[in-house]
Amino acid sequence: MILGTIAAADVVLTSPLAFAQNLDAGKSPERLFADGCATCHRSPRGLAKGRYSLTLSWFLQDHYSAGPDTAKALADYLVSVDTPPPSAPAKSGAKSSRSKPHPPKPVQGQ
Ligand code: HEC
């Protein structure tokens, strides 16, 4: 159909990433990141920086012309792999203090 062809051409012209978006349909966010982002961002970790996935997906749509679905998937992914807060590993500390009956001493040289 002519109408369909025009609509498709319009999408391709207005968004340079529209073609990639179609190819991206159904890809896992890990794959999307590896294909489209890893060139510049070596790791997805630390990119979310504690932001909400909604804020992030706006950022991604704005800066990378990702489609809403792709942006949302990537944003959720970035949030899920974001570096945990520094206070998280409290368990290992409890474990090591149990194996050593001495009270914790200040470590020299740190
Ligand atoms: C052409 C290189 C390039 C590609 C490809 C790229 N980015 Fe970026 N990205 C950058 C640069 C440069 C910055 C700015 C870095 C800064 O401000 O510290 C940035 C910033 C970001 C930020 C904000 C980081 C911050 O510190 O606030 C996020 C989130 C992000 N990119 C995600 C992505 C995602 C997801 C993709 C894949 C869809 C992607 N980027 C692809 C170069 C790229």
Output the CA angle 39-42-47, nearest 5 degrees: 110
Share above pLDDT 90 across residues of the chain, in percent, rounded to a whole number: 43
Q: Ligand 1 within 6 A of 79 CB?
A: no
* Percent of the chain at pLDDT exceeding 70: 53
The answer, yes or no, to whether any atom of ligand 1 lies below 6 A from the CB of 71, is: no
Domain assignments of the chain as residue spans, ordered by start? 28-83
**69 alpha carbon to ligand 1 midpoint, in Å?**
18
Distance (angstroms) between ligand 1 centre and the Cα of 41 equals: 6
Answer for the pair 54, 75: CB distance below 8 angstroms, yes or no.
Answer: yes
Is 61 or 95 the better-scoring residue by pLDDT?
61
Q: Provide the pLDDT confidence category of residue 83 given band limits of 50, 70 and 90.
A: confident
pLDDT at 74 over 90: yes
